[in-house]
Structure 1
Amino acid sequence: MLAASKGIDGFALDVGVDPWQTYRIADAYAAAKSQGSSFKLFFSFDMGSLPCASSGDATLLQTYIKTYATHPNQLMYNGKPLVSTFAGESCTFGAANYKDGWNNALKSSGQPSIYFIPSFFVDPATFPDTAVMDGAFNWNSGWPMGNYDINFNSDSLYLKNIPGRSYMAAVSPWFFTHYGPDTWNKNWIYRGDDWLFAQRWEQLIQNRNYVNIVQIVTWNDYGESHYVGPIHGAQPNSQAWVNGFDHQGWLDLCAYYIAAFKTGQYPTTARDRILLWGRLYPAAANVPSDGVGKPANWQWTQDYLWAVVVLTAPAQVTLTCGASRASAALSAGLSKMKLPLDPSTCSVTASVSRNNKIVLTFTPSGFNFSTNPPTYNFNAFVAASP
């Protein structure tokens, strides 16, 4: 499996209310089993989709858990099937509050014993009084929630309030969604500047003794532009900003950082690599023909090319796009560079030279910055040298 080859240990299965998802869940467990028992799966119940007001609404969740609790590819944590959520802080399942509701739904008599790490969007100061939680998943920790660089502050707040329990952190490369009021009415970005994916991974590696699980957000959420897997299968009407924007270059970056997170040591590299990403259009450009409008928070991002370079030995690395040029003497291992994108149409090129000899030139097809966007597309174009 592609994911496993990059060091990913399993998938969180986002489960909503649609009936077809039952069949896709079965397909996922069957596919994992066909490759052996090492790749694991667990449920992340999407409580923005699933009903959860009455006690009967718990039946669907209970059925999913019971069906796969003993499956060889079910992720077991501390000897129990791991179960997570997206949201759920408004769910009562017929009880007086969400804490009792979730306890009745998933931990009452007759239910399989589970290890519950939800992502409740509540003040972490309430976690000590939320006994149903065996840990906490900090979904929003993958991106800065304002116009600033990613930091570890929200992680520290979660950790402070769940002593003795497990912490699941998020890492995500990007966020852009562009749905109008006639569909899901979601049109905003989170700040992905300053090598977000790399910076976040490095923070998690620095704090690996406190982070029990890292969830990469996501493998295939095309609608929010944070997919790292192949563009495959049906899309949620996101083709306008996803088609032509492959993100698999980020998978190679994942492999490098996953190895470091698991072992505490950054791996050595067998060859020089260049990984590039950035938007293809100026943030301030106007597109009157795009009826959805400019995304909220658009002013949080700058027009830069972001580069991560992994070298086998010291070398000179140069980035260019039109008249814009950046060059630096870099050490062996991983380094980061950035390049202001020229305020005119240009194509991106990167090169590595060593001992006055060019050893790698990378001009990714399609990585062309243009001042005339056809729509408001703030998705990232990602490319990795072979």
Structure 2
Amino acid sequence: MADRSSGRTHRASGRRRLVPGVTLGVLLLGAWAGIGTAGALRADAPADAGSAPPKAYSTALPFDLPPTAELRRSAKLVFAHYFTPYPLSLDNEPADRDYYTRNYLTPDGEKGKHRAYGGLLRDRPLPAAPESGNWELAHLRQEIRTARDAGLDGFTLDLLSESGRNRDRAELLLRAAHEEDPGFWIQLMPDMTALTAATPASLADTLAELARHPSAHRLPDGRLVVSPFKAEEKDPDWWRAMMRELESRHGIRTALVPLFLDFTPDRESYAAISHGLSEWGARTPDRQAGAVADARRAHRLGKIWMHPVSVQDARPNQGLFDEAGNTETLRASWEAAIESDADWVQLTTWNDYSEGSHVAPSLHNGHVYLDLSSYYLTRFKTGAWPKILRDTLYLTARVQFVDDVPPATRQPQVIRPRPGTATPRDAVEILSFLTAPADVRTRTGSAGDSHRAPSGVHARLLPLRTGHSSATVVRGGTTTTTVTSRYPARRPVDRQDLQYYAVTSGRAQR
């Protein structure tokens, strides 16, 4: 059952991104083991909805995540970009034989159409148990719980089509959000790289249909938030016409928050019709300052700013990757959102596994990127850094070296660094969250080392070596926490996998 999106093109910081329909490949599954002017009303949410994060989730973090109700009193909002082609499951089959395993994670899947680059995907959602009844709805509700419990306010929903499977899944996500948590919002994001045939009238009709759902994101004044992806595909007059159609024929007023692939000066002409502005952002650590400048420019124009926060970007089907610098891009883009006093944040993305940019819990990263985002979003929403209460380690590393190339017979299309990205590196990062200074004893392959880490957050880079990597916190002769990579670095390779893999000491490995 191929779930086809019309091919869409994204560009991160001025570069094109082509994401074909749903397709992937497989690694060994046995190893997985408030109201503010920028916000919206939550009047229909029960008073106790999400009043506290689950205990198991809280204790996995180095700090206590504030209760959901407290986080929601902030006018600052955090969304994650939801890409409908990649839900938790595509066929409700057990993970060892589901569509991801059979077709997306293996070079031979979908009749070998992705063999040239070793398969479409290198990672997948954490496997979900098959459900009875309406399993698609159940799985979407599960994703909403996961995002809500991590402190997110909602999803920005990438609308890829006006009809068909992805359109149906978009509608189901809106329903799931209202049923699971009426305070969790779904912001409508028509994808103008895919909706190329849309007219102002047809898009207004589609948005009006989806806006019937109570979970559709609205401002306190009732305006429907519409945040078109690659808004520059249409000029301001086109968007004015679309908003007139929404109001005159459907009685819906619009708060437009156009998202540009790059917020260049000529895009300021959109400010006159917009409530806010945004951009897709860069996915390498040394290019985050530009987003801070863009946020300040939006504020000078009197508009709110939705800031992009990203983890990494590796696209086998395009033969390109960005050097994320382990967790450096994630930390730098969050810090830029805080520094710029952004109004909203968009995590780009929740679940686009075809570009490796996902923060959703996955086979190779567990909850790491979402857990780290919970730390930064707490600062973003409350204005105070949370107190570190539990020693916790995060280890990130690739499972191969950037210069290793597979035989052409196994993967003819080589994946190269994107021009302009940071210099690729072979490094293991030990990111420590410590309650007090301590010794951190490390091992990469057969080589051991040790360093003294201060209290608070501290990153240490070590050379990548073949084999597993590990780190242990020792204070006063007592081990407080330890972490070991689940996947070893290997050479040679039979296909390229240039994503960083992540693991935390805060969660049991499976």
Q: Same fold (TM over 0.5)?
A: yes
Partner of 1:39: 184
String of CA shifts for 1:221-256, please: whole Å, max 9, x gaps. 00000111134xxxxxxxxxxxx5235211111111
Partner of 1:176: 314
Cα distance, 1:78 vs structure 2: 5.2
Partner of 2:40: none
Letter in 2 for 1:177: R
Q: Is the contact between residue 89 and residue 122 of structure 1 (CA under 8 Å) also seen in structure 2? A: no
Q: 1:60 to 1:351 in 2, by over 3 A?
A: farther
Cα distance, 1:135 vs structure 2: 1.8
Name the SS for the 1:222 alignment partner: coil
Q: Is the contact between residue 171 and residue 216 of structure 1 (CA under 8 Å) also seen in structure 2? A: yes
Q: Is the contact between residue 127 and residue 161 of structure 1 (CA under 8 Å) also seen in structure 2? A: no
Partner of 1:115: 255
Q: Which of 11, 18, 26 matches 2:171?
A: 26
**Residue 463 of structure 2 is aligned to residue 362 of structure 1:** no
Partner of 1:15: 159
Q: Is the contact between residue 277 and residue 298 of structure 2 (CA under 8 Å) also seen in structure 1? A: no
Letter in 2 for 1:32: A
Q: Which of 125, 134, 144 matches 2:265?
A: 125
Q: Which of 306, 316, 321 matches 1:189?
A: 321
* Alpha-carbon distance between aligned partners in 2 of 1:156 and 1:220, rounded to the nearest angstrom: 28
**Residue 365 of structure 2 is aligned to residue 227 of structure 1:** no
* Alpha-carbon distance between aligned partners in 2 of 1:201 and 1:285, rounded to the nearest angstrom: 31
Q: Structure 2: which 5+ residue stretches go unaligned?
A: 1-144
* Alpha-carbon distance between aligned partners in 2 of 1:126 and 1:104, rounded to the nearest angstrom: 20
Q: Which of 44, 51, 76 matches 2:196?
A: 51
Q: 1:31 to 1:316 in 2, by over 3 A?
A: same
What is the TM-score of this pair, normalised by structure 2? 0.65
**Residue 279 of structure 2 is aligned to residue 156 of structure 1:** no
Partner of 1:262: 381
Q: Higher strand proportion, which one? A: 1
Cα distance, 1:158 vs structure 2: 4.8
**Residue 444 of structure 2 is aligned to residue 303 of structure 1:** no
Q: 1:151 to 1:51 in 2, by over 3 A?
A: closer
Partner of 1:83: 226
Letter in 1 for 2:494: P
* Alpha-carbon distance between aligned partners in 2 of 1:262 and 1:320, rounded to the nearest angstrom: 37
Structure 1 vs Structure 2 CA RMSD? 2.2
Name the SS for the 2:350 alignment partner: coil
Partner of 1:236: none
Q: How many residues of Structure 1 are paired with residues of Structure 2 in the alignment?
A: 350
**Residue 455 of structure 2 is aligned to residue 336 of structure 1:** no
> Which shifted more, 9-18 or 169-178?
9-18
* Alpha-carbon distance between aligned partners in 1 of 2:334 and 2:422, rounded to the nearest angstrom: 25
> Which shifted more, 71-80 or 270-279?
71-80
Partner of 1:106: 243
What is the TM-score of this pair, normalised by structure 1? 0.84
Q: Is the contact between residue 397 and residue 464 of structure 2 (CA under 8 Å) also seen in structure 1? A: no
Cα distance, 1:19 vs structure 2: 1.1
**Residue 338 of structure 2 is aligned to residue 205 of structure 1:** yes
* Alpha-carbon distance between aligned partners in 1 of 2:152 and 2:278, rounded to the nearest angstrom: 18
Q: Which of 303, 309, 314 matches 2:437?
A: 314
> Which shifted more, 103-112 or 10-19?
103-112
